[in-house]
Amino acid sequence: MALQSFLSYMSLEKNYSNHTVQAYKRDIEAFTLFCSLEYQTDHIETIGYGLIRSWIVELVDKNISNRTINRKIASLKAYYKFLLRMGEIDASPLVKHKALKTAKKVEVPFSEREMQEVLSRISYDEGFEGVRDKLIIELLYATGMRRAELINLKLDAIDLNSRTIKVLGKRNKERILPLLNSCIVHVRDYYSERQQLPVIVDKQFVFLLNSGHKIYETLVYRVVNKYLGKVSSKVKKSPHILRHTFATHLLNQGADLNSVKELLGHSSLASTQVYTHNSIAELKKVHSASHPRSQE
């Protein structure tokens, strides 16, 4: 009962996505199962830090990454914080827990040349799907929106007259993004193809399958991987890397961090700062090539 109340709180009060809520549920249920099998107790509300530490040790022994373990413990921490708030416990067993050390995750963005090639030089499939797929890549790169934001984009969110697009981000936070001229051209091309679909089921959504239903997460990943794979040899080719590329290219061209933060829909500047290491690398190259003493 406490777990269900917690999940409802995360969904209704905190406005977390269903994907995130289900991740919390899986983590907490996994720990509950561990306590039941190893310590014959299902009441994780009353356990001490020692049991949690035992679970961490087991996860490490199973070669689970520190990053994943930290995420699982973060789920427990949020649960105990909720129980504390509801008066179900007097103190969280994780109050003094320190996260495991993790290696800094470096994601390599696509180069400007690769993006120019994928949007201007390669061929896309004929007909509706090809036009749709090109617009998917164009919008992800030109706006920096998240995959989920693109999937849930509605027709009334795109205003071609004002050249803007309204995006509904995490926790239902709205932001308005400018549309490039190239995007507007591709949107009109796509709308023309979309109108010719024999059946449209999910009428309010922008991006559809041939069947007229809304697109899904795996399809967006496949589209990005397929077409970027034609111009790039990078191992990771995903919608998130396109978002990363958007931010990096803006910073390389002189955009200030706060502006990029607003465009990405980040709640804090710290989230945006992870994208700066690539722009710093670019600045180092410019500095080395331009400074009078660089050759000495």
Q: Which residues are catalytic?
A: 146, 170, 240, 243, 266, 275
Whose CA is closest to 196, among 151, 139, 129, 134? 129
For 3, counting Cβ atoms within 10 Å of its Cβ (0-12 exposed, 13-18 middle, 19+ buried), the class is middle
Q: Residue 39 is inside which H or E element, if any? A: helix 18-39
Separation between Cα atoms, residue 1 and residue 157, nearest integer Å: 39
How far is the C-alpha of 237 from the C-alpha of 224, rounded, in Å? 7
Contact indicator for 164, 178 with CB cutoff of 8 Å: yes
The answer to whether the beta carbons of residues 80 and 94 sit under 8 Å apart is yes
Are the CB atoms for 262 and 129 separated by under 8 Å? no
- Strands 174-178 and 164-168, by their bridges, are antiparallel
CA dihedral 283, 177, 131, 228 (to 10 degrees): 30
CB 48 within 8 A of CB 39: no
Q: Are 99 and 70 in contact (CB under 8 A)?
A: yes
